[in-house]
Amino acid sequence: MLKNEGKLLPLDPKAKVAVLGPHFNSTVEFQSIYFGENKHVLRQSPLAAFKRRGVNVVGSAMGCDYTWCNTTEGFPDAVAAAKAADVAVVFIGLWLQENEGWDRIELRAPGLQENLVQAIFAANPRTVVVCINGGGLAVEWTYATVPAVVEGFCERTPRLEFRVSICLIRLGRLQIRVKPEAMHSRRSSLAMSRRWVGSR
């Protein structure tokens, strides 16, 4: 977990939650970049994991046209869902295409993803952003403004439901779950990524 102001996490088990963003219902995409074969993720998604754990999901929307997020046409649906919820949880991040033959040339969230976060946050300040990124991701506005930001990528973890519970919820005994090797500070992440890009 990178940030948790106002003790927004772990989630109140009675809270009405909107599950949003380009990765809100992703499965195989949670392998992120430079991925191998993993069939376990095909049966799981953040939305499915939330429902399976009894979270009161009152709305869900992608908000974008997949992770490249090149249009705002889906923003109103995500904003409406956020307004109807006590907490908006937004899953953003990278896609599967990045590999040894194709790498990103910038660290910003793809397309209009951070604009989507801004729109959701304006509708509901109780917003949690979960980043799914096997590489560096520069989300400066999100980190500076949104009360809770979580690094949700767990390398080599086959259970997506575990990844979701990293930051959000374990009903019965509420805890924040963090796998140490999957967690790193925002500053070190960006510095490491900048060194990597600079070496290309």
| 60 vs 35: which has the higher pLDDT | 60
Percent of the chain with pLDDT over 90: 38
10 close to 176: Cβ distance less than 8 angstroms:
yes
Are 41 and 160 in contact by the 8 Å Cβ rule? The answer is yes
Tokens of 5: 């102001």
| 135 or 38, higher pLDDT | 135
Lowest mean pLDDT among 16-20, 150-154, 173-177: 173-177
Decide the pairing of beta strands 16-20 and 56-61.
parallel
Q: What is the pLDDT of residue 38?
A: 66
Alpha carbon 38 to chain centroid, angstroms: 20
Q: Is the pLDDT of residue 176 over 50?
A: no
Residue 96 has pLDDT above 60, yes or no: yes
pLDDT value for 36: 64
**Planar angle of CA 42, 48, 52, nearest 5 degrees:** 125
**In the predicted model, is pLDDT for residue 192 greater than 70?**
no
Mean pLDDT of 95-113: 80
The full set of domain ranges for the chain reads: 14-198
Output the 3-class SS for the chain: CCEEHHHCCCCCCCCEEEEECCCCCCCHHHHCCCCCCCCHHHHCCHHHHHHHCCCEEEEEECCCCCCCCCCCCCHHHHHHHHHCCCEEEEEEECCCCCECCECCCCCECCCCHHHHHHHHHHHCCCEEEEEECCCCCECHHHHHHCCEEEECCCCCCCCHHHHHHHHCCCCCCCCCCCCHHHCCCHHHHHHHHHHHHHCC
**Average pLDDT of the chain to the nearest whole number:** 77
Residue 1: the pLDDT is 72
CA distance 126 to 138: 21
Q: Percent of the chain beyond pLDDT 70? A: 68
Q: Are strands 148-151 and 87-93 parallel, antiparallel or unpaired?
A: unpaired
Average of per-residue pLDDT across 148-167: 60
Give the CATH number of domain 14-198; options: 2.60.40.10, 3.40.50.1700, 3.40.50.980, 3.40.50.2000.
3.40.50.1700
pLDDT reading at 104 higher than 90: no
